[in-house]
């Protein structure tokens, strides 16, 4: 078959299954259980067929085939656990000890980003050390003062044989990635995340990718406006918008838009004064080229508030954009700066559809007291994490794993989840030299005489 014909064939299959996924049936718990029961039934109904097929393919001798079938049918496989009627397996392996042994991966490479340079380099290091790994950490070259300080201090405080810090940019990171690591933990942009993953693939090294993207913020007409605007604007303006989970754009009704802008103007003035450029409470953009990049995004809509910037002092005023076409530049790339575009949908179903047509976000923000709306978003929209009626705070909870999904990343960390991330769960079955077990299980040993099958 010609490759194109083959890929077209597969395209059809993929689109069929994706449609099935989209109609949501496979989300129902009862549906899932039913499918598993059906599989179990299939094994029972076609036991003989399977035995013959296995025998033909692999020349399995009859007893082993039977064992295999029994394992599937009688529930030694994981199906009863999945359906919910788990049975105790101890009757098959008496006196055995099952142990999950927490094993460190080995040598971990941590690559940090610049926007929270200490935290993004050191939090993964804490987890890797706690789990028993050796670590090489490379902070971002874009925040050199913090990187230099870390390079100076870390060797004074932690073991130099097990933990090393290296400095450098793209060239050095590229060179570093040619080495073999046992785990790579990367924080940064999705584009570089792909480069890191490619490098990891060379040795099949597992990795966590903490990436970014556009995090939507939905606000309905039912909120406490003053509180909601303060929480949204704080999340947007902290570090002048250079936060991976900053609300990237706002979705609301036309009616809410006017109220939101009026309230924002009042609050921004209260926080940063008449001349926000002089405010001590606003950070700076990390580099001049990013000021240029952000300035070009202002052309995507009408400036409803702010819009001033100064390349030399790497500053941009908190800015709100309206009349933003959905396919404009500001709605395509991650903003990573103090610009908040507002787009309008009159109902939340359309808003969910819009979000779902794009890459899966790192964070999703919902400002609403409507439980049905909250549940609908939670059920139908995939995101790395969700914060309801506030911004950023979900990333601060040690009880919650922090990480992305799809284009916003893979894997997670924070609190005990950092330990989990850097730990391989090694399964250990420990068996004694108990003569009774040996006698009970003697039928497993050859020769597989017909008489032995009676015991199965």
Classify 430 as helix, strand or coil.
Answer: strand
188 binds ligand NAD (CB under 6 A): yes
**Residue 76, interface with ligand NAD (CB under 6 A)?**
no
Structure tokens at 108: 């971990």
Could you say which of 69, 104, 138, 264 contacts ligand NAD (CB under 6 A)?
138
Task: Indicate which single residue of 104, 127, 212, 361 sits in contact with ligand NAD (rule: CB under 6 A).
Answer: 212
Question: Using CA atoms, how far apart are residues 405 and 408, in angstroms rounded to an integer?
Answer: 5
Q: Is 359 in the site for ligand NAD (CB under 6 A)?
A: no
- Name the one residue in this structure whose structure tokens are 């009757």: 91
Query: How many residues contact ligand NAD, by CB under 6 A?
Result: 28
Residue 334 is a catalytic residue: no
Catalytic annotation on 244?
Answer: yes
Q: How far is CA 44 from the centre of its chain?
A: 39
Tell me: does residue 409 bind ligand NAD (CB under 6 A).
Answer: yes
Other C-beta atoms closer than 10 Å to the C-beta of 333 total: 12
Catalytic site residue from 207, 210, 252, 317: 210
**CB of 219 closer than 8 Å to CB of 228:** yes
* Interaction between residue 96 and ligand NAD (CB under 6 A): no
- Picking from 430, 335, 343, 445, the residue whose alpha carbon sits closest to that of residue 95 is 430
Please pick, from the candidates 115, 208, 368, 418, the single residue that binds ligand NAD as defined by CB under 6 A.
115
Contact between 173 and ligand NAD per CB under 6 A: yes
Nearest to ligand NAD of 173, 368 (CB atom): 173
Two tokens, residue 267 = 């609050």
Q: Does 158 bind ligand NAD (CB under 6 A)?
A: no
Position 192 contacts ligand NAD (CB under 6 A)? yes
362 contacts ligand NAD (rule: CB under 6 A): yes
Cβ–Cβ < 8 Å for 403, 384: yes
Q: What is the DSSP string of 359-391?
A: PPPSEEEEE---HHHHHHHHHH---SEEEESSS
Is residue 322 a contact partner of residue 304, using CB atoms and an 8 Å limit?
yes
| Close Cβ partners of 331 (under 8 Å, ≥ 6 residues apart) | 214, 249, 300, 324, 325, 341, 343
Q: Which stretch binds ligand NAD (CB under 6 A): 92-100, 140-148, 276-284, 366-374?
A: 140-148
Q: Taking CB under 6 A as the criterion, which residues in 7-36 touch ligand NAD?
A: none
| CB of 120 closer than 8 Å to CB of 112 | yes
Adjacent-strand bridge partners of 187: 210
Q: What sign has the CA pseudo-torsion 76, 80, 82, 88?
A: negative
Q: Which two tokens stand for residue 264?
A: 């924002």
| Binding-residue pattern over the window 334 to 353 for ligand NAD, x denoting contact by CB under 6 A | x-x-----------------
Judged by CB under 6 A, the chain residues 229 through 268 that form the site for ligand NAD are: 244
Cβ-closest position to ligand NAD? 212
Please work out, in degrees rounded to the nearest 5, the angle formed at the alpha carbon of residue 91 by the alpha carbons of 85 and 97.
100
Q: Does 141 bind ligand NAD (CB under 6 A)?
A: yes
* Site stretch for ligand NAD (CB under 6 A), options 3-11, 43-51, 139-147, 248-256: 139-147
Does 210 sit near ligand NAD (CB under 6 A)? Answer: yes
Residue 309 or 402 having the CB closest to ligand NAD: 402
For position 142 contacting ligand NAD by CB under 6 A, the verdict is yes
Rg (CA), the chain: 28
Q: Select from 33-41, 185-193, 306-314, 440-448 the region that touches ligand NAD (CB under 6 A).
A: 185-193
* Paired sense of beta strands 207-210 and 409-410, if any: antiparallel
Nearby residues of 452 by Cβ (< 8 Å), 6 or more positions away: 63, 443
> Smallest distance, Å, CB 157 to ligand NAD?
22
Q: Near ligand NAD by CB under 6 A, which window of 135-143, 277-285, 425-433, 440-448? A: 135-143
Q: Which stretch binds ligand NAD (CB under 6 A): 35-43, 55-63, 183-191, 448-456?
A: 183-191
> What amino acid positions are annotated as catalytic residues?
210, 244
| Binding site residues, ligand NAD, CB under 6 A | 111-115, 120, 138, 140-142, 169-170, 173-174, 187-189, 192, 195, 210-212, 244, 334, 336, 362, 404, 409
């Amino acid at each position: 078959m010609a490759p194109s014909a083959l890929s077209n064939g597969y395209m059809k299959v993929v689109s069929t299954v994706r449609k099935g996924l989209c109609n949501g049936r496979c989300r129902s718990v009862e549906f899932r259980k039913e499918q598993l029961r059906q599989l179990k039934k299939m094994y029972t109904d076609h036991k003989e067929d399977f035995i013959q097929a296995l025998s033909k393919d692999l020349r399995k001798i009859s007893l082993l085939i039977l064992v295999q079938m029994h394992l599937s049918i009688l529930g030694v496989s994981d199906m009863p656990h999945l359906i919910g009627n788990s049975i105790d397996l101890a009757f098959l392996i008496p006196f055995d000890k099952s142990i999950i042994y927490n094993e460190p991966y080995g040598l971990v490479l941590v690559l940090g980003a610049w926007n929270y340079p200490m935290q993004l380099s050191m939090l993964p290091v804490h987890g890797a050390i706690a789990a028993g790994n050796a670590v090489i950490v490379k902070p971002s070259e874009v925040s050199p003062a913090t990187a230099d300080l870390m390079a100076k201090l870390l060797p004074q405080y932690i073991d130099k044989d097990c933990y090393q810090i290296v400095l450098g940019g793209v060239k050095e990171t590229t060179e570093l990635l040619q080495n073999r690591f046992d785990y790579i933990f990367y924080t940064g942009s999705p584009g570089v995340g792909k480069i890191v993953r490619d490098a990891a693939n060379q040795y099949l090294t597992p990795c966590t990718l903490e990436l970014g993207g556009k995090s939507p913020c939905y606000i309905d007409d039912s909120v406490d406006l003053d509180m909601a605007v303060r929480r949204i604007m704080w999340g947007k303006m902290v570090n002048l918008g250079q936060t991976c989970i900053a609300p990237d754009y706002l979705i609301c009704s036309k009616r809410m838009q006017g109220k939101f802008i009026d309230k924002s103007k009042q609050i921004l003035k209260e926080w940063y004064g008449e001349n926000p450029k002089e405010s001590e409470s606003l950070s700076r953009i990390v580099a001049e080229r990013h000021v240029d990049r952000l300035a070009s995004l202002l052309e995507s809509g009408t400036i409803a508030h702010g819009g001033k910037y100064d390349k030399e002092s790497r500053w941009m005023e908190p800015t709100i954009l309206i009349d933003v076409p959905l396919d404009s530049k500001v709605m395509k790339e991650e903003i990573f700066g103090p610009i908040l575009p507002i787009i309008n949908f009159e109902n939340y179903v359309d808003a969910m559809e819009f979000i779902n047509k794009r890459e899966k976000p790192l964070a999703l923000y919902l400002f609403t007291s409507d439980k049905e709306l909250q549940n609908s978003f939670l059920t139908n929209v995939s995101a790395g994490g969700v914060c309801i009626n506030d911004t950023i705070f979900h990333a601060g909870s040690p009880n919650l794993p922090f990480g992305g999904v799809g284009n916003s990343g893979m894997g997670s960390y924070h609190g005990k989840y950092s330990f989990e991330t850097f730990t391989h769960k090694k399964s250990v079955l420990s068996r004694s030299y108990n003569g009774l077990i040996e006698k009970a299980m003697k039928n497993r040993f050859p020769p597989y005489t017909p008489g032995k099958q009676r015991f199965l």
